[in-house]
Chain A
Amino acid sequence: MADTARDPPPESTDFQELEDGEDLFPEPAATQESGPASLPAEDISTNSNGPKQDSLFDDDPEDLFAEATEEVSLDSPERDVLLSDGPSPAITPITPPTSVITPRIGLAHDDMFTHSSFDEIEEEEGGDSFDIHIAVSDPEKVGDGMNAYMAYKVTTKTSLSLFKTDEFSVKRRFSDFLGLHSKLASKYLHIGYIVPPAPEKSIVGMTKVKVGKEDQSSNEFVEKRRSALERYLMRTVKHPILLKDPDVLQFLESSELPRAVSTQALSSAGLLRMVNKAADAVNKMTIKMNESDAWFEEKQQHFENLDVQLRKLHASVESLVCHRKELSVNTAQFAKSAAMLGNSEDHTALSRALSQLAEVEEKIDQLHQDQANADFYLFSELLGDYVRLITAVKGVFDHRMKTWQKWQDSQLLLQKKREAEAKLQFTNKPDKLQQAKDEIKELEGKVQQGERDFEQISKTIRKEVSRFEKERVKDFKTIIIKYLESLVQTQQQLIKYWEAFLPEAKAIS
């Protein structure tokens, strides 16, 4: 590689400089975020009432009964287990009766919503009007030793009539959030709604907190978790359907909540969940669906790609956070070293300048530290959330496949029964024939239901995906802009520091 050497120091010869004409700082950005930023609520709008609540509880008898006679197949045990889990037996029956029947009603009212009210909601929410804000704050340790846990204050501010008051708060612990999620998942995932995943458990992290180490890393862990819980709730209530779910309302409003026992990692329910997950994975591999709808095929591919890209991006951002923290540490060390050098320099003005340099570098290291936090809380955590969300989205597609499978299975069974019936026609067994005819009638109903379910879930997924994509783009845009703003802050600070230093350097003579 032949290269010429003559070049002045890199004076940005190949860098296109932007015009200096523009006002550098049109208006100061929001006050400097010194700590991790929480996602602000969207702007309050004039929308006051959500859709009427009455529609929630209208019965759709046909559907109810269809549910009741369903055979238990592999995909429902999870739901069934959780169904019975609703109000956990060990807890005082504070739960309002609705939660017992919600799973079934859930299905019913979903039909209602997707037919009419959902559209209604979309229209009313047209311009991102969303009047609810949830904050998770004040983590405090309750109890001692291994039974200790962190309690978080969940404050809701809203003007939606869905709620009894404008502002209220409750105390919740981590397992409460997990419990909420598992209830929502059991109700909505299998019919195609993208239920936001709850923050991840961390045995290591929690143990440190329980053991009582009041150090930086356990504080960071608690802050990370607090922030994640807040994002989780905001995402959940942003979903127009989930917002109205009684479990969600109860979670936000009730002062006491039955303890969600089955969320413990090592409980029997936990084990059952793991088994089911494995079974699902196997099943997924064996289902070969005839995709007649190109949209779904395309979207599935899209989400596969997105998954890969987000994971890669997440890894890069985590690497950046790590390197920036390193940079902060190294800058601090250099600052000390420069100060020492300044001390031993015997030319007075140079000595002073070097000490000033040391001070500047020390301030810069703090800037790097803050920037690293911003990188992390704004960027990295968001990406982590989305990686998990994509998993939920993929799950929803899988549920559609299962629904299809169920429908196909019913169809096959129907066909078999019809063939059997045809054969029976030629024998002289009137009662068996009648039985066959009855079974066929039943199966025809099932097949119709299966088809309806499939169409329903397909329709729901379409809406959900479009909503999801809109949210994703918005989220990312918001975050990037916030992130860039934090960079601007950093730049402004840097300018201040170096401008203060320059005259000192020039004063050396």
Chain B
Amino acid sequence: VWCMMGYVCLCTDATLQVDISDALSERDKVKFTVHTKSTLPNFKQNEFSVVRQHEEFIWLHDSFVENEDYAGYIIPPAPPRPDFDASREKLQKLGEGEGSMTKEEFTKMKQELEAEYLAIFKKTVAMHEVFLCRVAAHPVLRKDLNFHVFLEYNQDLSVRGKNKKEKLEDFFKNVVKSADGVLVAGVKDVDDFFEHEKTFLLEYHNRVKDASAKSDRMIRSHKNAADDINRIASSLYSLGTQDSTDVCKYEHTHKIEARVAADEDLKLADLLKYYLRESQAAKDLLYRRSRSLVDYENANKALDKARAKNRDVLQAETSQQLCCHKFEKISESAKQELIDFKTRRVAAFRKNLVELAELELKHAKVKGLVTVRSR
């Protein structure tokens, strides 16, 4: 698994290893084979596999988000839905236009599109795998019962996707959350660490979003240019003015341009996309903490009022203690989570930027070699 997480712990942790060993792409869904190796006593066997679909991953993720006990953790972001629509559309268009191009062109373009499809496929598998690995690596989340069921239960979990009503509910929940978020963000935090984190995350998240969008656009242009070069190479070939070696050079240039675009996509765009989601998850954590702080402060006020009126004091005290305890627990784990987030982020960026530079260099050198030889 190439690591958005920045560290390679998962493979070396023998107690629980999770990976996606296989995947099948059917017409409108993808079936992932989730493979687990574990020495933990919770599981019936040491090694086993189940088949899961995207909706089941989402169900697992949502169960974490809705679990109050996990309020103090950065919930690993859910993998994005597998989206082959664009690729399928292109393949379809190609099929329709088959009559208007030569056999070679058609074969070539088909190969290209199939390669693209494969790349998207691999990516979606990776995204789903990273999610599971993050959960498996988290000291608390890995013990979650739903997670174990997800890994082990070899029947369909029967989690249908959300219906319209539920989606609407989600929508409103998010609206409330953002409104709340604004309110909560306005409250200055006593704790310097969290105050700094809040400011930082807000700005960082927006910048990552922008960078992610711009990198997507850049890579799309790059792919378009690579496609053009492909078409030009075929045309040059059929012109016959060039001997085939020249055209081969040109074609190689294309393959490399396409590869550069693909690598940029992987190392840069995916990295940014992932951290967009992670920074959102971190923001959500801060939000939950702020909410619990607000609840704590409200409980305090309620306790004061109860004491003043000398009514339901015990109740108010218990409530206040609960809130206080919850807030402190969240604050403590949140602090660690945010520090870990930074460590992961720096490591992931480092790894990906280094690999990006190395790949770019490799491609540039090979390309240079190719074209210089043609003289």
> Residues of A with Cβ closer than 8 Å to B?
1-10, 12, 15, 17-18, 20, 22, 24-26, 306, 309-310, 312-313, 316-317, 319-320, 323-324, 326-327, 330-331, 333-334, 336-338, 340-341, 343-347, 349-350, 353-354, 357, 472-473, 476-477, 480-481, 484-485, 487-488, 491-492, 494-495, 498-499, 501-502, 505-506, 508-509
Contact = CB atoms under 8 A, between A and B. Distances in A.
A480 B246 contact: yes
Nearest to A499: B361
A467 to B, nearest CB: 15
Interface in B53-90: none
The range of chain B's interface size is 35 or more
B228 A320 contact: yes
Nearest to B20: A5
Contacts of B361: 495, 498-499, 502
Contacts of B357: 498, 501-502, 505
Contacts of A17: 366
A238 B375 CA distance: 25
Interface string B188-226: 000000000000100110011011011101101110110
B94 to A, nearest CB: 15
Nearest to A496: B364
A312 B235 contact: yes
Contacts of A2: 24-25
Interface stretch (B131-139, B249-257, B295-303, B317-325): B249-257
Contacts of B350: 350, 353, 505-506, 508-509
Contact of B122 (A5, A316, A340): A5
Contacts of B346: 347, 349-350, 508-509
B262 A340 contact: no
Interface stretch (B160-168, B178-186, B236-244): B236-244
Interface in B1-55: 2, 20-25
26 contacts: A3-B23, A4-B22, A5-B122, A8-B2, A15-B259, A17-B366, A22-B373, A25-B372, A26-B372, A317-B228, A323-B225, A330-B218, A337-B213, A341-B210, A344-B204, A344-B207, A350-B346, A353-B353, A481-B246, A484-B250, A484-B253, A487-B371, A492-B368, A495-B368, A505-B354, A506-B350
Interface string B148-179: 00000000000000000000000000000000
B370 A9 contact: no
B210 A337 contact: yes
A313 B239 contact: yes
Contacts of B236: 313, 480
B364 A495 contact: yes
A316 B364 contact: no
A4 B231 contact: no
A331 to B, nearest CB: 5
Nearest to A328: B221
A369 to B, nearest CB: 12
A494 B364 contact: yes
A3 B121 contact: yes
B366 A18 contact: yes
Given A18-B366, A327-B222, A320 B360 contact: no
Contacts of B355: 9
Task: Give the dominant DSSP class at B's interface.
Answer: helix
Interface string B304-331: 0000000000000000000000000000
A305 B342 CA distance: 62
A498 to B, nearest CB: 5
B253 A487 contact: yes
A485 B350 CA distance: 34
B303 to A, nearest CB: 38
A385 to B, nearest CB: 14
Report, nearest first, the 4 A-B pairs whose CB atoms are least far apart. A327-B221, A320-B228, A5-B125, A491-B368
A477 B367 contact: no
Given A330-B217, A331-B221, A346-B200, 4 more contacts: A22-B373, A347-B342, A484-B250, A484-B371
A350 B349 contact: yes
A320 B232 contact: yes
Contact of B218 (A334, A343, A354): A334
A487 B224 contact: no
A42 to B, nearest CB: 18
A353 B349 contact: yes
A26 B368 CA distance: 11
B11 to A, nearest CB: 13
B263 interface: yes
A323 B370 contact: no
Contacts of A22: 369, 373
B266 A10 contact: yes
B162 to A, nearest CB: 26
Contacts of B217: 330, 333-334
B118 interface: yes
A10 B211 contact: no
